[in-house]
Structure 1
Amino acid sequence: MTKVLNSNFLAGSEKSHEPRLVGDILSEMFSSDSPLARGYRHHQTVYPNTEPCIDLKLLTRQPGRLPVGDYIDGAITRDDEDHFLFIENATDKKRNEALQRNPHVYEGVYININRKPDGTLYPTFNRPRFDERFTCRDFCHGAAEELLQVVNGSVIGLGEEK
């Protein structure tokens, strides 16, 4: 397919579903008055602003300069006429370092088995979505089968001794 150089000419035919240029389809879609196009134009408004000759201070969790092309999460504030301050967001780092309070040692369809800090295991039920084909009775049968698998030892990796 060759690129159409005349911007007034639509590539392909809309009636016969022939190939069209993606740019033409997108520009036609986003220039319409549909709710999707209006919402896209409203939320995609960006105002570029270049601040020449400024002083920028970065407060980051790692020493040294920020690598080229690297992104860090944080907030930037303008605290003087020509001075900006960036502070890295540390909550993401803390979230990754936190241990789960009672981790799952088995995740099933109907039940999960968790381990307390003292090493004991306890089951919890998953919350199913009931409808005409899957009732509370079906859920109870499935949960009972999974509990029996755990008790009989066919679930490996629980680490509880008899």
Structure 2
Amino acid sequence: MKQTIIITDCPEQQGWQKNRELCMDVTTYLRSDSRMKAGKSYQGVLRRDVTCDEMHYNEQMVFIETSNQKRMKRNPRIFEGEHITITRRDDGSYHPNFRPIHLGPDFNVDHYATEVANELLWGLEGLVDNA
């Protein structure tokens, strides 16, 4: 799951260290655009290169955009019901998962168990038919 980080007006409150690097050249290696566009976010790696020769001290930033490849979902859903889902693991085995149970004044244990059993039956029938 991709995590989005939101930086507020006071990043110090979230543990961020705010710095401003002045007068630096940034070399960009982009996959999506030929030049960086204003306001667009890029996913990648920012690296600080430091070289020192006899004449002067060079400091340069290099940004390399990482590829935004679509990854196959790790455990794809084979069956999706109201109460359970069945996923396929990387090793080919199947795993039933319960969805959250909402207990309320109208909750009936017998009715819930019957519906779960029916969904398991339908999901497994679909797997046997496809095999």
TM-score normalised by length of structure 2: 0.52
Amino acid at match of 1:111: I
Query: Corresponding residue for 2:49?
Result: 79
Larger C-alpha radius of gyration, 1 or 2? 1
The residue type equivalent to 1:124 in the other structure is P
Count of aligned residue pairs for this structure pair: 111
Q: CA RMSD in A?
A: 4.4
Tell me which residue corresponds to 2:6. none
SS of residue matched to 2:119: helix
CA contact (8 A) 1:128 1:139 kept: no
Greater helix proportion: 1
2:85 corresponds, among 103, 107, 112, to: 112
Please list every run of 5 or more consecutive structure 1 residues that lacks an aligned counterpart in the other structure.
1-39
Identity of aligned residues (%): 27
Structure with greater contact order relative to length (CA < 8 Å, sep ≥ 6): 2
Asked if 2 retains the 8 angstrom alpha-carbon contact of 1:58 and 1:87, the reply is yes
Q: TM-score, normalised by structure 1?
A: 0.44
**Kindly tell me: are residues 61 and 43 of structure 1, through their superposed partners in 2, closer, same or farther at Cα, counting changes over 3 Å?**
same
Determine the C-alpha separation between the residues in 1 that align with 2:115 and 2:38: 53
Output one character per residue of 1:71-109: Cα deviation in whole Å (capped at 9) or x when no partner. Answer: 10223222134311112234xx23x2x223552243123
Q: Which position in structure 2 is the counterpart of 1:66?
A: 36
Q: Which has the higher strand share?
A: 2
Structure 2 alignment gaps of length 5 or more = 1-9, 51-57
Answer yes or no: is the 8 Å Cα contact 2:85–2:99 preserved in 1.
no
Alignment of structure 1 residues 13-162 onto 2, 5 Å:
42-43=12-13, 47=18, 49-52=20-23, 54-62=24-32, 64-80=34-50, 81-90=58-67, 93-94=68-69, 96=70, 98-100=71-73, 103-114=76-87, 124-126=96-98, 128=100, 140-148=113-121, 160=129
3-state DSSP class of the match of 1:144?
Answer: helix
